[in-house]
Structures are given as structure tokens and as C-alpha cells.
Amino acid sequence: MKYQNDIILRAARGEQVERVPIWLMRQAGRVLPEYKATRSRAKNFVEFVKNPDLAAEVTIQPVDILGVDAAIIFSDILVIPEAMGLPYQMIEAKGPWFENTLTSKSDIDALRIADGNDLSYVIKAIELSKKGLNNRVPLIGFAGAPWTIFAYMVEGSGSKTFSQAKKFLYQQPQLAHEALEKITQSTINYLKAQVAAGADMIQIFDSWAGVLGQEQYKTFSLHYISKICNELSPIVPVTVFAKDAHFALADMAVLSCNTIGIDWTINPQDARIIVGHQKTLQGNADPCLLYAEECVIEQEARKMIQAFGKQRYIANLGHGLYPDTEKHKVKFFIDCIKSL
Ligand code: CP3
């Protein structure tokens, strides 16, 4: 066996496991004082992401400190817009901000199709993380889904509705497809470079799936996610996580991916019926569960495993950890899952 612990890869491939594997979205982040200490050594978030030594350090922290079954490379989904020509900033307490956004055909014509060379700092961070992990656990690579990336590139910041991005779909659908195609090609190049550098599995984050209706979701999001799955799944296990996309589960079940991530609004048994038995499910605890007393966390962890079953399942939250979660509660939740 290549890894001391490869349980997550076996679960993704649908092989037998002796216990349920677990990692947490946003595990490399602000719930760890150790993360904050490393982050303070960089000038700002973008510089932090671009520093392979620091990025590798925080990638490994959750494996050492929390005992998760996989590391996820510390980076951000917004490195793709930057590599394509739209740089971003991360504004404290506010979130992402883009000086330039996509509005017209000339903006989209000007976008470059990125590849691994444009993101050499992430590739370097992956190589360093692999060295530091020393085959203890696998490393997860990731990218945003084209729709979510497009949404940020049009909107220029976070938004509750992403109404500017949706307006674009209604007013200039052909142009939206051109942009989505360029983002998709860039993402495929980028993910292949991550795998070549050592990423053992890949997750696609469609954080803003839930603002689209079912038909638009198929046309403007799943169509492109499917292209990424077709290119990547022959080489590594692929997970698709689409937040608030319960309406799309049946369509996601036919993607060529190994794992589907679900949020806490979806009942595990319903998800299994819709998705069938050919895929692994991942999720789906409410991140707010980790504010509860330990006895409640334990009870809910037990219910979650009973509902999903031990095989073809990877435990996780239904979205990223909230920054004000206490580290000992996060550790407690992970230990519960591993002991059940
Ligand atoms: O999961 C991990 O631990 C790996 C690292 C990771 C980050 N961002 C680091 C980060 C991953 C996988 C992401 C993905 C990401 N980034 C998504 C998809 C997942 C999701 O949450 O829906 C999205 C939408 C983004 C864009 C983004 N990055 C936003 C909206 C924000 C600000 C708000 C927030 O969630 O903090 C970020 C900043 C960011 N990315 C932080 C981290 C650790 C916090 C920055 C800090 O240190 O202050």
C-alpha cells in the first residue's frame, strides 16, 4: 500500500472500508490558531495563497492536529479567474473583490485559457505538501465549478442572489457559454497539473448552484462540470459538491464522477435512492452542529453514519467550517466518526 492510510481513496472507489473516513471542507483555515499564526506571516490572503511554503504548512496542519483522513491543498477557487486575467483581492470581513469584471464580448475575448504554468505556485505547494505528508494520507486537489467561477467574475464579489451573473445568462446566453467554455478548459488544464504534481483525488466546488433553477443549472453548470469529470475521472477519483442543489441530484447521478457531496438540507436516505449505489456520498452535517454540546454532536454523528451506512460514504460537513467554531469541538466530531 502506498499510503499509511488510504481509507478515503477506497471509499471513493467503492471498495470495502473498516470504518468511515472523514475530512472537513475548510479544514485548512481559521478554526485553527496554528493557521492564524502561519497566515500572519503573509502580507495578505492572496500573497499567502501564492507562497508555496506557507500554503504547504497549513495544508498539513489539519492532518497533524485534527487527525483527518485526507489533506486538501490550501488555495482558493479564485486563482482561476486571476490566471485568466481577472485578479482578485480578499477583503477582511467582506470576502472576495474583483477590480475588473466580465460585462461585454471584449472582456470575454480578452480572457486567457490558463494552464498549470500560470498556477505554478499551487503546483509547487502541492509538491511540498506531498513531501511533508510523506504518504501518511492522500491529498485532495480542487477547483471551483465553472458556473461558480463565472458568477464571481461577473458579479465582482460575493452576493446573496448573484443577480448580475444571472442577468448575464438571460441577456447574453451565448456569450455566457463562451466564457464558461474558457473557464472549463482552464480548469481541466489546472486540475490535470494538480494531479501530475501529486493530487490523489479532486473536488469540484459549485458553491452557487442553488441560485439557479433546474433547467438553467443543467445548461449553464452541469454541462461544464460533466466535461471536467470526463477528463479527470479516468485518472483520479472525482467528487462533485454542489451546494443547495438537491433539485439536481438525479442529473448529478449520471456524471462520470465517483463521489457526490451533499449539504444538510438533503436527507441521506433520499440522496441514496436518487443517486443509486454506483457512487459514494459525502457530507452532510450542518456546520452549526459543531456549536452544540458534545453529547449532541456525538448523537448526530451516530445518526449520520446510520443514515448513510458505512460503505460508499465519506463523512464531512454539508459546507465549510465556520470560522468561530471551537477547535476542540471539531476534533471531537472527527474522533466520534472515527470511533463509530
Ligand atoms: O477547504 C480547505 O481547507 C482548503 C482551502 C480552501 C479555501 N477556499 C481557503 C480559504 C478552499 C477549498 C476554498 C474554496 C472556496 N473559496 C470556495 C468553495 C467552497 C465554499 O466555501 O463554498 C469559495 C466560494 C471560495 C471563495 C472565497 N474564499 C470566499 C467567499 C472567501 C471569504 C469568505 C470565507 O469563507 O472566508 C474566501 C476566503 C478563504 N478561502 C479563507 C480560506 C481559509 C479565509 C481567509 C482568511 O484566512 O481570512
Phi (first) and psi of residue 26, to 5 degrees: 65, 30
Q: Which of 178, 229, 176, 237 is CA-nearest to residue 206?
A: 229
pLDDT band at residue 293, thresholds of 50, 70 and 90? very high
Torsion sign across C-alpha atoms 331, 332, 336, 337: negative
Amino acid code (one letter) for 175: L
Q: Give the position, in ligand 1's atom list, of the atom nearest the Cα of 62.
A: 3
Kindly report the CATH class assigned to 7-339: alpha beta
Average per-residue pLDDT in the chain? 98
CA of 1 to the centre of ligand 1 (A): 32
Reduce the DSSP state of residue 32 to 3 states and report it. Answer: coil
Hey, what long-range contacts does 62-65 have (CB within 8 A, 24 or more apart)? 62/23, 62/24, 62/27, 62/28, 62/32, 63/133, 63/136, 63/137, 65/32, 65/34, 65/327, 65/331
**pLDDT surpasses 90 at 325:** yes
309 ligand 1 Cβ < 6 A: no
23 ligand 1 Cβ < 6 A: no
CA of 76 to the centre of ligand 1 (A): 6
**pLDDT surpasses 70 at 4:** yes
- Tell the residue nearest (CA) to atom 8 of ligand 1: 76
- Tell the residue nearest (CA) to atom 41 of ligand 1: 29
Question: Over the stretch 49-99, which tens digit does the pLDDT of each residue have?
Answer: 999 999 999 999 999 999 999 999 999 999 999 999 999 999 998 999 999
Question: Over the stretch 178-231, which tens digit does the pLDDT of each residue have?
Answer: 999 999 999 999 999 999 999 999 999 999 999 999 999 999 999 999 999 999
320 ligand 1 Cβ < 6 A: yes
247 ligand 1 Cβ < 6 A: no
Please tell me which residue, 1 or 317, carries the higher pLDDT value. Answer: 317
202 ligand 1 Cβ < 6 A: no
207 ligand 1 Cβ < 6 A: yes
CA of 320 to the centre of ligand 1 (A): 8
**Mean of the pLDDT values across residues 244-263?**
98
CA of 26 to the centre of ligand 1 (A): 7
- C-beta of residue 199 within 8 angstroms of C-beta of residue 141: yes
Q: Probe ligand 1: pick from 40, 45, 76, 147, max atoms within 8 Å of CB?
A: 76
- Torsion angle, alpha carbons of 226, 229, 234, 235, to 10: 160
**Mean of the pLDDT values across residues 331-337?**
98
- The percentage of residues in the chain with a pLDDT greater than 70, rounded to a whole number, is 100
- Per-residue pLDDT at 32: 97
Cα distance between residue 106 and residue 275, in whole Å? 41
- Tell the residue nearest (CA) to atom 43 of ligand 1: 29
- Per-residue pLDDT at 1: 60
**Mean of the pLDDT values across residues 145-172?**
98
CA of 324 to the centre of ligand 1 (A): 14
Q: Give pTM, 2 decimals.
A: 0.97
Cα distance between residue 189 and residue 172, in whole Å? 26
**Mean of the pLDDT values across residues 264-274?**
98
Phi (first) and psi of residue 171, to 5 degrees: -90, -35
Domain ranges of the chain: 7-339
Q: Which of 243, 240, 207, 210 is CA-nearest to residue 225?
A: 240
Give the active site residues.
26, 30, 39, 76, 152
**Mean of the pLDDT values across residues 271-285?**
98
Q: Probe ligand 1: pick from 41, 59, 90, max atoms within 8 Å of CB?
A: 90
**Mean of the pLDDT values across residues 287-298?**
98
**pLDDT surpasses 90 at 298:** yes
Question: Over the stretch 95-141, which tens digit does the pLDDT of each residue have?
Answer: 999 999 999 999 999 999 999 999 999 999 999 999 999 999 999 99
- DSSP state letter for 16: -
